[in-house]
A = this chain, B = another copy of it.
Amino acid sequence: MRDSKKQERQEKILLEALRLFTEKGYFNTSVSDIQAALNLSVGTLYNYFKNKEAIAITLFSNIENCLYEALCEIERKHLDTAGRCKAIVHHLFDTTERAPASMQYLFYTKHREFMAVEKSVFASLPFLKMKEMVIQGQQRGEIRDIDADVALVALFAGPMRMISLRIDNILERPLPTYLDESWECAWRSVKAV
């Protein structure tokens, strides 16, 4: 079978798995659920992925890489810390509206419960990049001289909680409508006086 065809089918499996994992949870989703939803046989599915966990891992890795690259691009485009961080929040809000399942899976899933993954999400590449920016912001005097972890959390925990509220359907309006107010709060909390 052509490589592109194979890759396309793999993509479909990942997409359906993402939908089910976020909708019902990893443990409430059986391999049969995925297979049946795609009109594939079990055998075929196992031909594409070693096991259920492998699907979850590939999914996570793909989304994580995608976010990391977006952060790197933001870093290149914006040179000041405030601009960078606001752009990050903007990107996260936008992505949540466009692809809520991806955000939910990346941020609001207890991966350790089903993936043999060593580190917490907050030790992952995207978060390290964000921390890097914050520390640089402190060195440049743009951000107050407080504990770096506290500053990182003060900047991004609010927006990220807004995302989880939106995913849980507690916020009525789309996230971008909260961008300015939410960002204003975040920046006030850490900006140098």
Point out residues on A near B: beta carbons under 8 Å.
24-25, 27-28, 108-110, 112-114, 120, 122-123, 146-147, 149-151, 153-154, 157-158, 160-162, 165, 168-171, 178, 181-182, 184-186, 188-190
Contacts and interface: CB of A to CB of B under 8 A. Distances in A.
A181 B150 contact: yes
How many copies of this chain are found per oligomer?
2
Contact of A185 (B28, B114, B150, B178): B150
A178 B165 CA distance: 25
B25 A146 contact: no
Contacts of A168: 120, 122
> Most chain-B CB neighbours within 10 Å: which of A113, A153, A188?
A153
A67 to B, nearest CB: 18
Contacts of A189: 154, 158, 185-186, 188-189
A124 to B, nearest CB: 11
A190 B184 CA distance: 9
Contacts of A190: 185
24 contacts: A27-B113, A28-B113, A108-B110, A110-B110, A120-B169, A122-B168, A146-B185, A147-B178, A149-B162, A149-B165, A149-B170, A150-B162, A150-B178, A150-B181, A150-B182, A153-B161, A153-B185, A154-B182, A154-B186, A157-B157, A157-B158, A157-B160, A161-B161, A185-B190
Given A157-B161, A186-B154, A189-B188, A181 B147 contact: yes
